[in-house]
Amino acid sequence: MKTPYHSLDLALEETGTMLVLAGRGPGSPGYTLTRCTKYGDPLEALNVMDAPAEFDDFTPDSMMCANRRIYLVDRRGMKAVVIESDGRFSAGYFITADGPGDLHESSIESFRIDDAGALSFTLSCKSEPFVVTIGGEDDRPTFNCYGNRGADRLTLGVITFIGLFVSCYLIK
């Protein structure tokens, strides 16, 4: 018997409608994204459309709405997808960590979006926080290190998919 879906996250759109993200739990494939009235009555199911094949196994567990877009994050899988309000894929990100922080011990702890649409991820690599920001003035990732370990002891990679354009950044 399959594990039933349960609510993972909730976000309010600028129009006043509510989005409900539901899934089967950590590490389990499958999720639903439902747009509801402000009272919680379902209006429509949203599906991510036109995403690259690299995101076929994407299973978000967190989301946020800003700038008329929906930001979905798979914290354990260290991936993020940005979709338009109709579900069309806008951008996707893989965040990888290696070196002293083994990928299997790394995760996205939290994320935020600023007024300009820049995404900031707080990563935990062996329980030490690191912040990666994507977007802003030149759309190049910036890297800030907070903690006892210097930034030179960790390599982070950000692979960006925007339409057909792919870019890769290594941040040391």
CA-derived radius of gyration, the chain: 16
Residue linked to tokens 């290190």 = 145
> Higher confidence at residue 73 or residue 156?
73
Question: Which pLDDT does position 35 carry in this prediction?
Answer: 96
In this predicted model, what pLDDT tens digit does every residue of 101-134 receive, in sequence order?
Answer: 444 566 777 888 887 777 777 776 655 566 666 6
Question: Which pLDDT does position 10 carry in this prediction?
Answer: 93
Strand runs labelled E in 25-114: 31-36, 42-46, 62-66, 69-74, 79-84, 89-98, 106-113
In this predicted model, what pLDDT tens digit does every residue of 131-170 receive, in sequence order?
Answer: 666 665 555 555 555 555 444 444 455 555 554 444 444 4
Judged by phi (left if over 0) then psi (alpha if -120 to 50, else beta), residue 32 lies in: beta
Cα–Cα dist 107/98, whole Å? 12
CATH code assigned to 6-171? 2.120.10.30
62, HSE (Cβ side, Cα atoms, 13 Å): 16
- Per-residue pLDDT band for 41 (boundaries 50, 70, 90) equals very high
Measured in whole angstroms, the distance separating CA 21 from the mean position of its chain's CA atoms is 13
Q: What's the whole-model pTM score?
A: 0.77
- pLDDT mean over 73-87: 89
Cα–Cα dist 17/19, whole Å? 7
